[in-house]
Homo-oligomer: A and B are copies of this chain.
């Protein structure tokens, strides 16, 4: 399912994610404006994490605004509503690979090509948090390393 590092029909990824975003927006009264939709499409073009300024450059080239808030607002919208995720260790953004599914995301992040595979795992630390009276609100789980392709290319 998390096929970032495997051959797959990428067009399906894109259309499924766009469809899921459209449906979710319709269902929740959110507006998937041209800017937001295009931002999601840019992230969906690859399974690689993109920096906000990379996204901004693409948007600007297509006639959208050129200043950082334009990209940050669109990215924050996508992240808030689960259509994209932020990779903390890279300060970068990636499209959600499990659109529509509720999940505490976790990631395999290649340090060479920046491609990201999204996995479904149980949220760790829950028992420890419970024991200490700590209320978990969000978890960040990222494994960095080398993907199969980049290992081979070494």
Expressed in whole angstroms, the Cα–Cα distance for A6 and B125 within the complex equals 17
Report the minimum CB–CB distance from A131 to chain B (whole Å): 10
Q: Given A106-B124, A124-B121, A132-B108, check contact A140 B142 (CB 8 Å).
A: yes
**Minimal Cβ-Cβ distance residue in B for A148:** B133
Report the minimum CB–CB distance from A5 to chain B (whole Å): 5
Taking each of A125, A138, A142, which has the highest tally of chain B beta carbons within 10 Å of its own beta carbon?
A125
A121 touches B111 (CB 8 A): no
Asked if A128 is an interface residue, CB under 8 A from chain B, the answer is yes
Asked if A30 is an interface residue, CB under 8 A from chain B, the answer is no
Expressed in whole angstroms, the Cα–Cα distance for A110 and B88 within the complex equals 16
Expressed in whole angstroms, the Cα–Cα distance for A139 and B124 within the complex equals 12
B139 touches A143 (CB 8 A): yes
Which residues of B are found within 8 Å of A143, using beta-carbon distances? Answer: 123-125, 129, 134, 136, 138-140
Which residues of B are found within 8 Å of A6, using beta-carbon distances? Answer: 132
Report the minimum CB–CB distance from A76 to chain B (whole Å): 15
Report the minimum CB–CB distance from A121 to chain B (whole Å): 5
Identify the A interface with B (CB < 8 A): 2, 5-6, 88-89, 106, 108, 110-111, 117, 119, 121-125, 128-129, 132-148, 151
Closest 4 CB pairs of A and B: A133-B148, A88-B88, A137-B145, A136-B145
